[in-house]
A and B are shown apart, each in its own frame.
Chain A
């Protein structure tokens, strides 16, 4: 992992980059996200991380280098980054964030201190178990719910109002 950190010298940039248009993010080689800033600086491995994925979704994107140190944080990546950079970073983000979004609850049953879920997500169908829902069902807003299963896998319902009645009925009886 030697040659992947950022070059020495002035690595500090402003916390919020104003001229994100200079940021070129691209895959090189095929599986590695790389960042070139203007013409003078290049970071070989970039880990994009949402600063507050739940309360500010799609905003405040931090770019970290291979050591996990911040390169910069972009407040509005979708409008601030060049289009192809945003596409590349979005691709990397979907690989890094394995949270699933629930679109329908097929069944949910609370039994014997555990809750058994069967859901349909954007990634497909999935079964999971949650325990002690007081801690593992987190309301991020009155309609935004995050479920964390016994292994730590994450399932998000961005807006329970948008679920069908079949699904909401399960939520009502269980939570």
Chain B
């Protein structure tokens, strides 16, 4: 039995031709908890589990099943069935790798139990790379080992295309510079042989020196020009790369941002692009030039005197060998220093931004202790890396200097024997300096290249990630405001559905209050309306059209949102109010601010509407920021409005003002509101009460209170502590 690597081979849906098995999934844990295989089979009549060898170990008729679910465990999950008698039966355990599929299977079992049509998505996922059989970091993702480096290289090279003239010019100039660098040794050799040794032909000295001056001047001009060209190319290519990564990131689906930290995403725009252009603009010319020079000098040396050449080049394998052998451990050590720096920074950041807490708890010494540990870790890692570095460098220097020593020994002997002129000897000595210098770094080139490639792959990964479905550009549909949910299911993580079949319709102009405990699915419902995420199953229609058929930006242009923690961009207050409608006149801005009850407090600021608000609008109070964001929504003039806990973080007096403003804002718009204080939703046309991802009740405030159901209980629980303030009551 192939019990070893079950991840790759497990979890296939194999529609069997012989019987009517509807779902067949292979789990990756055996009954005793070891890694192994067990198979779940679902037919119209029963659910059963087969042990290896097809012996059934569990069976239950569909008729006895009430519900089925994925019970999350630590590091895995378990399919559980609740029987019609209310018993919970654990059926089969599996790792997190395949739990999403079993969650779908649980849904399927439930559908069968309720005699509904079987509607589940059992798409097969690739867990291993088809080429090299490595596990894939992301299911159905790209295999980082099999990414075609040639292809990546070509894609990077495309960024050079707009600047190809400059690039070619740069290459030519570099070539000329290389050739010119070889001139002074030649001139010196010639001078020694024709003038210095013979003490004749003085004019040749002047001629040669004149030539040398010419070479120097040309070289300097070329260096200035190529330096400026490199600056031009580097600047442009870096900017282009950053733009295209940023642009790609902007259009990514939100779940990409859920999975990754902001810092990690930002580093793709900064660090990864740096690596790529650094390699393009500095690495490639370096390789090209030094490669050429190395080749040229070697040929020249052998032409001059093969015997001497063989001798003086003999330490080169050692230099290259040391480089190749020690580079990897060396770079790992530097990488470790980098990581220690990151930890050090993190702690420094944390303790400084939490300085109030540190002082309040009088924990300066404790924080200093932590700081000292990090600081010493950094010191030790740095010392180890630098120590190693100087050791290797010293060893390398020995071998490079050995080349010179050999040159003088063997060369000196040859000159003494008159087998080599003094001029030739001098030329060789001078060229040797040009040869050994860059050689030390050749070993680093592979590393350099790998890092640039890794950076490029991360960049292209972002660019190749699926973007949001933007639909037909430029098409416009004026939204009336009817929003219809039909059996909508959704989960951020597919194995854990948050919404489990939501069906309701909001009529144009209605205000729908979404109510429920935290985790019931209120914010998720709103995320779906904004189409930050799309339903896993079921449809959401706007004015009777499936909203996936509406152009995304056109749709979002007609949706306004007021969040609990309003985000203001750095800029003036007026800029922020205009954000959704940059062409609005100043008159309109003031009008919107008045409607949002913001005008007065804005006027009380020294700079009025020109007051700068910093990152997150830190100079304003929560209530002020909230009113600016309401003014922003008013000016945006959306057809569908979303209020997500818009009043929960302010005091009662401010809340009253905000409620007034909201009352003006919601007029004539379909509004979805979440509010923690249930009484604030009294004026909602209808309330949708959510419980564990399902709709428990729908009705007006009065109806639900009369019914004395779930909502009534929630209000009862809250009424003791909450002020009664109605949404939409002006004054």
Interface residues of chain A, those whose CB is within 8 Å of chain B, are 1-4, 29, 31-32, 45, 53, 66, 94-100, 111-114, 116, 121-129, 131-132, 134, 149-154, 173
Q: Can you offer 28 A-B residue contacts whose CB atoms are under 8 A?
A: A2-B86, A31-B89, A31-B90, A32-B87, A66-B88, A96-B73, A96-B74, A98-B33, A98-B73, A99-B75, A111-B145, A112-B145, A112-B147, A112-B454, A112-B457, A113-B137, A113-B454, A116-B135, A121-B35, A123-B29, A124-B3, A124-B34, A125-B5, A127-B5, A128-B135, A131-B137, A151-B95, A151-B96
A154 near B74 with CB under 8 A, answer: yes
- Counting from the closest, the 5 A-B pairs by CB-CB distance are A112-B144, A98-B76, A124-B35, A98-B75, A154-B75
B residues 124-153 near A (Cβ < 8 Å) are: 134-138, 144-145, 147
B90 near A95 with CB under 8 A, answer: yes
Which residue from chain B places its CB closest to the CB of A96 in the assembled complex? Answer: B73
Interface centre among A111, A114, A116 (most CB of B within 10 A): A114
Residues of A within 8 A of B458 (CB): 113
A153 near B75 with CB under 8 A, answer: yes
A32 near B88 with CB under 8 A, answer: yes
B166 to chain A, nearest CB (A): 32
Which residue from chain A places its CB closest to the CB of B336 in the assembled complex? Answer: A175
* Contact A153/B76 with A127-B8, A132-B264 known, Cβ cut-off 8 Å: yes
Which of B35, B36, B134, B332 sits near A116, CB closer than 8 Å? B134
Residues of B within 8 A of A4 (CB): 86, 88
Q: Chain B at the A interface: mostly helix, strand, loop or mixed?
A: mixed
Interface residues of chain B, those whose CB is within 8 Å of chain A, are 3-8, 29, 33-36, 67, 73-76, 78, 82, 86-90, 93, 95-97, 134-138, 144-145, 147, 264, 332, 339, 342, 454, 457-458
B327 to chain A, nearest CB (A): 14
A24 to B376 CA separation, bound complex (whole angstroms): 52
A134 near B74 with CB under 8 A, answer: no
Residues of A within 8 A of B134 (CB): 116, 129
A45 to B71 CA separation, bound complex (whole angstroms): 13
Residues of A within 8 A of B93 (CB): 95, 98
Question: A125-B35, A134-B339, A153-B97 given. 9 additional CB < 8 A pairs?
Answer: A96-B74, A98-B33, A100-B75, A114-B137, A121-B35, A125-B4, A127-B5, A151-B97, A154-B75
Interface centre among A4, A29, A95, A100 (most CB of B within 10 A): A95
Which residue from chain A places its CB closest to the CB of B58 in the assembled complex? Answer: A31
A124 to B32 CA separation, bound complex (whole angstroms): 11
* Contact A153/B96 with A111-B145, A125-B5 known, Cβ cut-off 8 Å: yes
B4 near A152 with CB under 8 A, answer: no
Residues of B within 8 A of A95 (CB): 33, 73, 78, 90, 93
Residues of A within 8 A of B264 (CB): 132
A98 near B86 with CB under 8 A, answer: no
A154 to B72 CA separation, bound complex (whole angstroms): 14
A152 near B75 with CB under 8 A, answer: yes
Interface centre among B34, B89, B96, B458 (most CB of A within 10 A): B96
Residues of B within 8 A of A99 (CB): 74-75
Which residue from chain B places its CB closest to the CB of A111 in the assembled complex? Answer: B145
B581 to chain A, nearest CB (A): 40
A159 to B35 CA separation, bound complex (whole angstroms): 22
Which residue from chain A places its CB closest to the CB of B453 in the assembled complex? Answer: A112
Residues of A within 8 A of B29 (CB): 98, 123
B339 near A94 with CB under 8 A, answer: no
A11 to chain B, nearest CB (A): 18
B7 near A128 with CB under 8 A, answer: yes
A88 to B75 CA separation, bound complex (whole angstroms): 21
B417 to chain A, nearest CB (A): 53
A98 to B88 CA separation, bound complex (whole angstroms): 20
Which of B4, B95, B145 sits near A153, CB closer than 8 Å? B95
A152 to B94 CA separation, bound complex (whole angstroms): 12
A1 to B339 CA separation, bound complex (whole angstroms): 49
A173 to B145 CA separation, bound complex (whole angstroms): 19
A94 to B342 CA separation, bound complex (whole angstroms): 37
A94 to B136 CA separation, bound complex (whole angstroms): 28
B145 to chain A, nearest CB (A): 6
A32 to B87 CA separation, bound complex (whole angstroms): 9
Residues of B within 8 A of A129 (CB): 134-137
B7 near A126 with CB under 8 A, answer: yes
Residues of A within 8 A of B7 (CB): 126-128
A78 to B134 CA separation, bound complex (whole angstroms): 42
* Contact A127/B135 with A112-B457, A151-B96 known, Cβ cut-off 8 Å: yes
B307 to chain A, nearest CB (A): 44
Which residue from chain A places its CB closest to the CB of B332 in the assembled complex? Answer: A173
Which residue from chain B places its CB closest to the CB of A129 in the assembled complex? Answer: B135
A21 to chain B, nearest CB (A): 28
B369 to chain A, nearest CB (A): 16
B96 near A97 with CB under 8 A, answer: no
Residues of B within 8 A of A98 (CB): 29, 33, 73-76, 93, 95
Residues of B within 8 A of A111 (CB): 144-145
B5 near A113 with CB under 8 A, answer: no
B257 to chain A, nearest CB (A): 16
A116 to B136 CA separation, bound complex (whole angstroms): 9
Residues of B within 8 A of A2 (CB): 86
A34 to B611 CA separation, bound complex (whole angstroms): 64
A98 to B71 CA separation, bound complex (whole angstroms): 13
A94 to B90 CA separation, bound complex (whole angstroms): 14
Which residue from chain B places its CB closest to the CB of A45 in the assembled complex? Answer: B88
B144 near A150 with CB under 8 A, answer: no
A146 to chain B, nearest CB (A): 10
A32 to B454 CA separation, bound complex (whole angstroms): 50
Which of B88, B144, B342 sits near A114, CB closer than 8 Å? B144
Which of A1, A97, A122 sits near B88, CB closer than 8 Å? A1
Which residue from chain B places its CB closest to the CB of A47 in the assembled complex? Answer: B71
Which of B35, B67, B86, B147 sits near A126, CB closer than 8 Å? B35
A98 to B99 CA separation, bound complex (whole angstroms): 13
B95 near A113 with CB under 8 A, answer: no
Which of A94, A100, A124, A128 sits near B4, CB closer than 8 Å? A124
A150 near B137 with CB under 8 A, answer: yes
A124 to B34 CA separation, bound complex (whole angstroms): 6
Which residue from chain A places its CB closest to the CB of B35 in the assembled complex? Answer: A124
Residues of B within 8 A of A94 (CB): 33
Interface centre among A94, A124, A151 (most CB of B within 10 A): A151
* Contact A123/B75 with A113-B144, A113-B458, A129-B137 known, Cβ cut-off 8 Å: no
A99 to B75 CA separation, bound complex (whole angstroms): 6
A86 to B244 CA separation, bound complex (whole angstroms): 60
